[in-house]
Amino acid sequence: MDAIVANPSSATAAAHVMPGSGFKVSARDCNVYYGEKHALKSVSVDIPDRSVMAFIGPSGCGKSTFLRCINRMNDTIPICRVTGKITIDGQDVYDQSLDVVQLRARVGMVFQKPNPFPKSIYDNVAYGPRIHGFAQSRAELDQIVMTSLEKAGLLKEVKDRLTDSGTSLSGGQQQRLCIARAIAVSPEVILMDEPCSALDPIATARIEELIDELRSNYSIIIVTHSMQQAARVSQRTAFFHLGTLVEEGETGHIFTNPNDKRTQDYITGRIG
Amino acid sequence: MTDISMSQPSGSYTVNRKFDITSAEAQGRIRSRYRAEARFKSYGLLALGITSVFVVILLADVFVRGLPAFWQHRLVLDVPVAADAFGAPGSVDAAAIRGGDYYPVTKAALAKAIPGIESRSAERQLNRLLSTGAPDILRETLVADPSLIGKTVKVPLLLSDDADLYFKGAGSKIVSRVPRGIATPSGVTGEVTVLTASNDFADELATIKRALSVRAGGVEREAGRLQRSPDKANQARAVELLEVAKALRARAEQPRGEEPLDADIPSVLVEINGGLVKATKLSDSAITGEVLLPLKSADEAKPANWKIVTYVTPEANRKVNDQEAAFLERLRSLGVVESGFNWRFFTSGDSREPELAGIRGALVGTALTLLVTLALCLPLGVGAAVYLEEFAPKNRLTDLVEVNINNLAAVPSIVFGLLGLAVFLNFFGLPRSAPLVGGLVLALLVLPTIIIASRAALRSVPPSIKEAALGVGASHQQAIFHHVLPLAMPGIMTGTIIGMAHALGETAPLLMIGMIAFIVDVPQSFVESATVMPVQIYLWSDLPEQAFQAKTAAAIIVLLGFLFVMNGLAIWLRKRFERRW
């Protein structure tokens, strides 16, 4: 399967195709309106399991908006309206019967700015498992916290000071703590909204390594402004422009031989 | 072409555009900017200085006035308790001791301390020096140990407010002088004449004449002022005053002879043979007067054994007359006057007698009222703020609610009092003057403040925290109650305590619901009659007794103390709960 959606017209054409198996997340004809503003126009895309998908595009192109549709984070904005269909494993996330809390447990999120809770490192990671009742005992909870920190590559640095405040860590450590917090509730998909934009190059490199490791267990969608980052960490890349999904395909293909002129202009720095 | 202007010879053009920091104008601009900054800073310092001066003046005034009220004078006397003072010996129980008449007992104690008072009026004045609450400690002592009945008990007896003020310096300046000659009194009690061999009273006479002359001058000035008035009655009064002044002048200028004394000029007294004589007539070599404290004998007194005493403040300008002052001075010289901390001020309720009045009733009333206010305001205010800020849909109705809450914060407090009167008292029939109703009314007053402060605190929590919680699958409510509200708590606490401090000082709405009554008992429940501190201060400030002035200031000190404690608590809570993110 190559790029399914190349431009809005072909997206409409593809709308009747049912989300295929083998894809973790599928969107069909997804539109987002902020009040009168049509922020996302008829986006259809399929995101495979156990791989990294990067969304690139200039600021205000709708990539973060689309990302936040997948775990219904846009629900918190009163004027936001979403149409179309987004499915995870074939299940519609905007289905009335689906509980948004359960959805967000399945779809974890890491934000642009590291936002640990002003609580201890332990409590930061344990919060999710606690509210979802994952652990029957303290030992089990400890196990979840340790495993999550281990997976996020943070355990070595913080294991002696788990009771320190999460906000006392450095920026990169805070962001890895946020990743640990997200994977503590064992999600299937992890959404990352420019996770490295507030970090220095060394911390960025650590996060990128981590993303590469996490790829074997999770479906990861990352929004990034750095095309090098997209090229480094992702297997597939989607380019958004002015609210439309312009082109999607294998990362190598997008960066070397894009089909669309706009994609080419963007990656060569002519628009942005 | 449009770029003709651009292609002009551009020498001056570029110079103007460049920022030349060495030019005179630029230097001038910099100087004027520095001047403006310095000016602004000095305004700030000036304002700060003026404010601090006023605060210091205010506090100093309150403390200087109020601190004496925390001390109280007592007479530590040997009180002989007659065996049959509370009924036949052997059949005395606690109730009889409690209900007994202590007037004879304290009277006997005073008579023992200052013996020989025969005149009924003097005796009455002596007994009036004690407060009506004087036997309280004696009563408690006797109830605790009935075996003391029939013995002599040494207990402190509380002085009346005027006597207390006398010892606190509200009496008169007293000048005493040792004369040269030998004095001979004509008797030991009643009206006596004291003769001296060597014109010993000449100085006093001269002082009195000077006082008369000064008084005449005062009267003349008053007459002159009235004369200029167009009013006929005033002019007639001026003529009368001029007559008075003339008479005073005549008395002042008469060189020798007996001078009658009155209450408007300083009092001259003679201390002789262990007694005290107050002069009513004064001449160079003799005084005629009444005995205030009985003399031991009518023997001649050598110069070292008698003294001439002058109470400089005229009797008419004092609360304590010469007789009382004589008693108090005698008690002081006996060493039985003791000053102690006024615990009663904190342990008893209001009273018509200043020396018995305490702040306890108002303190408890305030605490109960604020408790009701807090219990209502905190959950309602925080709940309303959380709902409006986080859950309420944004529509016309919630806009209306919001505007109304903001306006309610600016409604004059007496309006809330009227509302309380109409709704809580008249419609719901709740008890008048009760802390419950006071608390309800103050809750109405404070609610908008708390809601506004809480909303501001909730809004100041970074949205990323809420997003983080939502991102790991917390529900909206969990995100708010687990993360946003705890972070907003310091702000909410501060707002609440500021609101409570506001309620603490509120008087007007409580007047409307009857919390201004004179209430002696310390309230025991939320529905008993009570008063609160600011109302108590208001009530005391209105009373004519001089001692209540000090009580008013003392109550203000207590109120300020209460306020400082509350604000301290606010700061402590802030520090305790403050978290950084």
Chain A positions touching B484 (Cβ under 8 A) are: none
Average pLDDT over every residue of A233-238 = 93
B471 touches chain A (CB under 8 A): yes
Q: What is the pLDDT of residue A198?
A: 83
Q: What is the pLDDT of residue A18?
A: 43
Quickly state the pLDDT bin for A19 (edges 50, 70, 90). Answer: very low
B578 touches chain A (CB under 8 A): no
Chain B positions touching A105 (Cβ under 8 A) are: 472-473
Q: Look at B471 and A182 and tell me if their CB atoms are within 8 Å.
A: yes
Q: What is the pLDDT of residue B574?
A: 80
Picking from A71, A112, A115, A121 by the largest number of B CB atoms within 10 A of its own CB, the best residue to mutate is A115
**A145 to chain B, closest Cα gap in Å:** 14
Provide CB contacts within 8 A for B508, sequence distance 6+.
Answer: B412, B413, B414, B417
Q: What is the pLDDT of residue B16?
A: 56
Please state which of the four CATH numbers 1.10.3720.10, 3.40.50.300, 3.40.50.1820, 3.40.50.10440 is assigned to the domain occupying A8-116+189-267. 3.40.50.300
Domain residue ranges in chain A: 8-116+189-267
Please tell me the distance from the alpha carbon of residue A172 to that of residue A110, in angstroms, as a whole number. Answer: 13
Q: What is the pLDDT of residue A67?
A: 92
Mean of per-residue pLDDT scores for chain A = 86
Residue B100 has pLDDT above 60, yes or no: yes
Q: Look at B470 and A102 and tell me if their CB atoms are within 8 Å.
A: no
Lowest mean pLDDT among B60-64, B164-168, B242-246, B259-263: B259-263
How confident is the model over A198-217, as pLDDT tens digits?
888 888 998 999 999 889 98
Please tell me the distance from the alpha carbon of residue A192 to that of residue A199, in angstroms, as a whole number. Answer: 14
Q: Out of A102, A118, A127, name the one closest to residue B472 (CB).
A: A127
Strands A107-110 and A189-193: parallel
Q: Kindly tell me the sign of the dihedral angle through the C-alpha atoms of A12, A16, A20, A23.
A: positive
Contact B268, B261 (CB under 8 A): yes
Q: What is the pLDDT of residue B40?
A: 97
Q: What is the pLDDT of residue B17?
A: 60
How far is CA B232 from each of CA A176, B198, B240, rounded to the nearest angstrom?
Answer: 98, 52, 13
Q: Out of A76, A78, A128, name the one closest to residue B473 (CB).
A: A128
How confident is the model over B396-425, as pLDDT tens digits?
999 999 999 999 888 999 999 999 999 999
Quickly state the pLDDT bin for A272 (edges 50, 70, 90). Answer: low
Provide CB contacts within 8 A for B553, sequence distance 6+.
Answer: B61, B62, B63, B65, B66, B69
Q: What is the pLDDT of residue B11?
A: 46
Q: What is the pLDDT of residue B1?
A: 39
Quickly state the pLDDT bin for B6 (edges 50, 70, 90). Answer: very low
Q: Out of B471, B482, B483, name the one closest to residue A109 (CB).
A: B471
Long-range CB contacts (< 8 A, 24+ apart) of B331-334?
B331/B75, B331/B113, B331/B114, B331/B129, B332/B167, B334/B113
How confident is the model over A153-163, as pLDDT tens digits?
888 889 899 99
Please tell me the distance from the alpha carbon of residue B308 to that of residue B174, in angstroms, as a whole number. Answer: 10
Mean of per-residue pLDDT scores for chain B = 87
Residue B117 has pLDDT above 90, yes or no: no
Q: What is the pLDDT of residue B580?
A: 52
Please tell me the distance from the alpha carbon of residue B370 to that of residue B372, in angstroms, as a whole number. Answer: 5
Q: Look at A182 and B580 and tell me if their CB atoms are within 8 Å.
A: no
Q: What is the pLDDT of residue A9?
A: 40
Quickly state the pLDDT bin for A269 (edges 50, 70, 90). Answer: confident
B395 touches chain A (CB under 8 A): no
Residue B522 has pLDDT above 70, yes or no: yes
How confident is the model over B156-194, as pLDDT tens digits?
999 999 899 999 888 788 888 888 888 888 888 888 888
B465 touches chain A (CB under 8 A): yes
Q: Look at A184 and B472 and tell me if their CB atoms are within 8 Å.
A: yes
pTM: 0.80
Chain A positions touching B580 (Cβ under 8 A) are: 118, 167
Please tell me the distance from the alpha carbon of residue A27 to that of residue A245, in angstroms, as a whole number. Answer: 11
* Higher-pLDDT residue of B85, A126: A126
Q: What is the pLDDT of residue A10?
A: 39
Longest dimension (CA), chain A: 57
Total beta-carbon pairs less than 8 A apart between chain A and chain B: 74
Structure tokens at B527: 């529905």
φ, ψ dihedrals at A26, nearest 5°: -130, 140
Residue B96 has pLDDT above 90, yes or no: no
How confident is the model over B439-471, as pLDDT tens digits?
999 999 999 999 999 999 999 999 999 999 998
Q: Out of B473, B476, B483, name the one closest to residue A117 (CB).
A: B483
Average pLDDT over every residue of B275-280 = 89
Q: What is the pLDDT of residue B119?
A: 84
Q: Look at B579 and A73 and tell me if their CB atoms are within 8 Å.
A: no
Residue A21 has pLDDT above 80, yes or no: no
Quickly state the pLDDT bin for B300 (edges 50, 70, 90). Answer: confident
Q: What is the pLDDT of residue A240?
A: 92
B468 touches chain A (CB under 8 A): yes
Average pLDDT over every residue of A154-181 = 90
Structure tokens at B8: 């002009």
Quickly state the pLDDT bin for B26 (edges 50, 70, 90). Answer: confident
Q: Which of B538, B493, B550, B475 is nearest to B511 (CA)?
A: B538
Residue A144 has pLDDT above 60, yes or no: yes
ipTM value: 0.84
